[in-house]
Amino acid sequence: MSKTLKIGVFGFGVVGSGLAHVLKNSKGLDASIVKVCVKDPTKERDLPSEFVTLNPDDILNDPEINVVAELIDDADDAYRIVKTALKNGKHVVSANKKMLAHHIEELIQLQWEHKVSFLYEASACGSIPIIRNLEEYYDNDLLQSVSGILNGSSNYILSKIFNENLDYGVALKQAQELGFAESNPTSDVEGFDTLYKLIILTVHGFGLFVHPDQVFNIGISRLSAQDIQLASQKGYKIRLLGKVTKVNGKHVNLLIAPKFVKPTEHAYTVEDHYNGVLIQGNFYDNQFMYGKGAGSHPTGSAVLSDVTALAYNYKYEYKKLKYYGGLEYTNDMSVQIYLRYSKKEDLDLFEFTDISESLTGKDFNYVIGQINLLNLIKIKDQLVDKDLFLAYLGDE
């Protein structure tokens, strides 16, 4: 039998208001929002004033509230809220992927210690129930990889570039105007948002905690017309992908980078602000999940799904952590990359083990070849201000 849920919400922006809307239209669930904590008291909200507070303790110390929905942008504040709520014996629902990527190991321990549930389906892939599926359906050691388009903002930009021939700057501005990208789009377009989500999926898919600093991620902000033209000539689209892979049955690797995607790949068909996740494993081959990855209602629906699960005492079991441990993280693997560069000294940073294609011209230089990820990790910080674009190639 379900139980009554009294919800305290932190943040009433896109996701918080989306939760309120879908909760209002969800029949059969005995749940209600009793308090909302916000930072700006002057901002207009579709909320009665008695529901609004500026003091976090009005939620965290209220014995009537048994569920905290943490839906704010600031990862540091989110961490303090979630940690306190768990210690105070409250169930928690969160959508903050950056906070989770940096603190998930500690927060899992806290929920076990205080015998509460900590759910965060909305932190990864919007409306796609990927975490629940990794927990329930793929709860064995047959999983080989999880990959795909995990960020709707960057995918919207790339879709407009390849489908409508828009310049990168124009497509980005359009994404911002539609609310798919933030005014500061760094997290989306440089691959950090995808990185944080992939770290969460790695915990549930492979039972391994990986720190963001261990992973190579690079984004799409330096994409040029020359890169687009070359990809199109080869019959590819470019998509920003994240992939976690089991290597030789003993190790796990994470990679976030643009990819030259062939028409036969699932990611080729994912357009606009949608996400697409490909799950590969022994015996069940390829399985693909597709859905909206950004926006008020998709993310609000994911939060509501977690709230509904709490009504039936649902908890993540972390079966991979408990029963299938022993995997280690590695960057010692070869990957085929495309590198467009301007200066010879920039090319010299890259220790290619094999080059299959190259061009040196007046305005356009590129190399396609094999390189070890250890080299890319070593030079990662040096690439930030370079005039170059990197993408990888290969199978899904």
213 lies in the same domain as 285 = yes
CATH code, domain carrying 183 = 3.30.360.10
Give the pLDDT score at 393. Answer: 97
Domain stops at, among 75, 95, 119? 119
Tell me: pLDDT of 295 over 70: no
Q: What is the residue range of 232's domain?
A: 132-295+326-393
DSSP structure string for 134-180: HHHTS-STTEEEEEEE--HHHHHHHHHHHHH---HHHHHHHHHHTTS
Domain stops at, among 90, 119, 148? 119
Tell me: pLDDT of 28 over 80: no
Marked catalytic residue, from 97, 98, 160, 197: 197
Tell me: pLDDT of 1 over 50: no
Mean pLDDT of 339-359: 97
CATH code, domain carrying 107 = 3.40.50.720
Is residue 234 among the annotated active site residues? no
Task: Give the pTM.
Answer: 0.95
Q: Is 375 exposed, middle or buried (0-12, 13-18, 19+ CB in 10 A)?
A: middle
> 304 lies in a domain?
no
Domain stops at, among 87, 119, 151? 119
Number of domains, the chain:
2
Mean pLDDT of 184-204: 96
> 265 lies in a domain?
yes
Q: Which residues pair with 35 in a beta bridge?
A: 8
Give the pLDDT score at 239. Answer: 98
Mean pLDDT of 140-167: 94
14 lies in the same domain as 154 = no
> 273 lies in a domain?
yes
> 216 lies in a domain?
yes
98 lies in the same domain as 245 = no
CA distance 229 to 219: 18
73 lies in the same domain as 172 = no
> 210 lies in a domain?
yes
